[in-house]
Amino acid sequence: MKDEKGNDPLGWHVEWWFVLMPMVMFIVSCNRPSSQEDTKRKPVARVLDTYLYEDQLVGIVSQGISKADSIKITENYITNWTKEMLILRKAEANLSEEQKNVDKQLQAYRKSLLLYAYEKELVRQKLDTVVSQTEIEDYYQKNQGNFQLKDNIIKVLYVKVKKKAPQLAKLRVLYRSDLPHDREALESYCHEFAENFYLDDNSWLLFDDLLKEIPIEAYNKELFLRNNRFVEVTDSLHYYFVNIKGFKIKNSISPLAFEKENIRNAIINKRKLLLINAMKEDVYRSAEEHKEVEYFK
């Protein structure tokens, strides 16, 4: 969950999980044959007085795996377990008692995980994810300073055809035309003969994405965009026809259409934070009213 600035106030839980997961595996794996029940289990590996048992290997190999791969996976698991246990013993021997006391970290992790799960369920049940066009436009007008373009963007249509493609003279006319019947003819031509094409000239694209598709030499991209509308280039096998319908230079204000989805996400993330904060305040006020909270001086 990110705030308006792109921060993720809840995402650190995932990092904690990867830190704690090996620790949990160590604790689960440390089974010593101290009871009659343990002595009946079949061990497959031992590190000092800690054993790994055959029944603990159940489920590590997926169904459908060949016998050879199954043996390899099992052997790797046992070897990794042995190495982990040796490192754990090394850590236990070299860390102080305070450093080895992980109870507080585990309690803090459990608490944060429960809070995160509750907040996530609250958001799932009560968050309004419908964002109107009016809200988007209002947000855009009030925050235009946050929408500076970092790259050049364009509205464009382009067509890539083989050099032996038919009716090239017709194609040269169609890709330049703004007439509706010519656009229909261009679409029909592209579906029949083009190797690649893009005709959605109402949407904004990164100019760099176009350069990945078309071998245009643009040493000064801004100057190229200002001085070119129709572009025809070729390589050894293909012709490329490009109609640049519009452009915005980097460091200018990004158009609303290009930022629409980002604005929608920002509005929803803001609602998430407001919903969670309101929940916290409601819980606190309710606890105060019912004398469930008391401060001592």
What is the tens place of the pLDDT at every residue in 211-230? 999 999 889 999 999 999 99
Q: Is residue 22 assigned to a domain?
A: no
Q: Do 200 and 269 belong to one domain?
A: no
The confidence score (pLDDT) of residue 38 equals 61
Q: Hey, is 182 helix, strand or coil?
A: helix
Single pTM value for the model: 0.64
Q: Do 218 and 281 belong to one domain?
A: no
Q: What would the mean pLDDT of 95-103 be, rounded to a whole number?
A: 84
* Cα 182 versus chain centre, distance: 40
Q: Do 138 and 268 belong to one domain?
A: yes
Largest CA-CA distance found in the chain, in angstroms, rounded = 89
What average pLDDT is seen over the chain?
87
Q: Do 41 and 61 belong to one domain?
A: yes
What is the tens place of the pLDDT at every residue in 18-71? 444 444 444 444 455 555 566 678 998 999 888 999 998 888 888 888 889 989
pLDDT at 113 over 90: yes
CB 148 within 8 A of CB 253: yes
Beta strand segments in 95-250, E: 153-162, 196-198, 205-206, 230-234, 238-248
Q: Do 195 and 138 belong to one domain?
A: no
Q: Do 274 and 224 belong to one domain?
A: no
Q: Do 201 and 237 belong to one domain?
A: yes
CB 177 within 8 A of CB 183: yes
Q: Is residue 229 assigned to a domain?
A: yes
Q: Which of 22-26, 72-76, 107-111, 146-150 has the lowest mean pLDDT?
A: 22-26
Tell me how far apart the alpha carbons of residues 30 and 47 are, in angstroms, rounded to a whole number. 10
pLDDT at 132 over 90: yes
What are phi and psi for residue 262, nearest 5 degrees? -65, -40
The confidence score (pLDDT) of residue 15 equals 44
Q: Do 138 and 283 belong to one domain?
A: yes
CA nearest to 131, candidates 123, 141, 139, 122? 139
- Quote the number of domains for the chain: 3
Could you give the C-alpha distances from 42 to 27, 36, 37, 57, 237, in angstroms and in order? 19, 12, 11, 11, 67
Q: Is residue 278 assigned to a domain?
A: yes
Q: Which amino acid is at 224?
A: F
Tell me how far apart the alpha carbons of residues 201 and 156 are, in angstroms, rounded to a whole number. 5
End-to-end CA distance of the chain: 37
pLDDT at 133 over 90: yes
CB 169 within 8 A of CB 264: no
Residue 206's pLDDT band (cuts 50, 70, 90)? very high
Q: Is residue 126 assigned to a domain?
A: no
CB 154 within 8 A of CB 161: no
The confidence score (pLDDT) of residue 33 equals 53
Q: Is residue 14 assigned to a domain?
A: no
Beta strand segments in 37-110, E: 43-47, 50-53
The confidence score (pLDDT) of residue 297 equals 81
Q: Do 204 and 60 belong to one domain?
A: no
The confidence score (pLDDT) of residue 32 equals 55
More confident residue, 16 or 162: 162
More confident residue, 71 or 6: 71
Give residue 278's domain range: 133-143+254-289
Q: Do 204 and 180 belong to one domain?
A: yes
Q: Is residue 121 assigned to a domain?
A: no
Overall residue count recorded for the chain in this entry: 297
Q: Do 162 and 179 belong to one domain?
A: yes
Q: Is residue 297 assigned to a domain?
A: no
Environment class of 4 (CB within 10 Å of its CB; exposed 0-12, middle 13-18, buried 19+): middle
What is the tens place of the pLDDT at every residue in 238-274? 999 999 999 999 999 999 999 999 999 999 999 999 9
Q: Is residue 42 assigned to a domain?
A: yes
CA nearest to 89, candidates 38, 40, 43, 46? 46
Nearest 10 degrees: Cα torsion 43, 45, 48, 50 = -50
The confidence score (pLDDT) of residue 145 equals 86
Tell me how far apart the alpha carbons of residues 3 and 10 are, in angstroms, rounded to a whole number. 10
Tell me how far apart the alpha carbons of residues 197 and 240 are, in angstroms, rounded to a whole number. 9
Q: Do 175 and 240 belong to one domain?
A: yes
Environment class of 266 (CB within 10 Å of its CB; exposed 0-12, middle 13-18, buried 19+): buried
CATH at residue 192: 3.10.50
